Amino acid sequence: MLYNLLLTLLIIDGLVLAAVVLLQAGQGGGLASLGGGTTDLVMGGRQAVTILHKASWITGGAFMGLALLLSIAASSRALGETEVQRRLRQQAPAQQAVPPAPLQTTPAPAPVPGTTGSATPAPPPATPPASRP
């Protein structure tokens, strides 16, 4: 409930902020004033504070505050778990119930000298079955 209210307020404030900024008169010059002149031309000089200027500061501050409150509300909001999370939680106890296999503590037999690296003897060659006369 609180999350939806904050989200709605943030969207409305964002739309009002966009409208207020777009309604303001341009400072004149823009980036073209960077080529020369004084810093007053770059920064726009000192102008009278209008209601749109005040409104842009107020709505901008409100936007930042609402965004912060919305992020706090979203982090503490209890979200339902997905189907994948539910299946993983059901499988986890079943996997832990199986005891782990014991480790092999006896050493492997040593290779016999003269063989070609295999510790186990090779099986005898298969003999074909005797044919009946």
Contact (Cβ atoms closer than 8 angstroms) between residue 52 and residue 24: yes
Domain boundaries in the chain?
Answer: 2-76
Q: Which two tokens stand for residue 92?
A: 């986890």
Task: Give the pTM.
Answer: 0.48
35-74 as b/e: b if 16+ CB within 10 A: eeeeeebeeeeeeeeeeeeebbeebeebbeebeeebeebe
Please tell me whether residue 63 adopts helix, strand or coil conformation.
helix
Task: Over range 67-95, report the average pLDDT.
Answer: 78
Q: Give yes or no for a contact between 73 and 3, defined as CB atoms under 8 angstroms apart.
A: yes
Q: Residue 28 has what pLDDT? A: 58
The percentage of residues in the chain with a pLDDT greater than 70, rounded to a whole number, is 57
Name the range with the highest mean pLDDT among 12-16, 37-41, 49-53, 92-96: 12-16
Is 67 a residue whose pLDDT tops 90? Answer: yes
C-beta of residue 63 within 8 angstroms of C-beta of residue 14: yes
- Sign of dihedral through CA atoms 116, 118, 121, 123? negative
* Residue pLDDT, tens place only, 82-116: 778 788 888 866 555 556 677 777 777 777 776 66
What does pLDDT average to over the chain?
Answer: 76
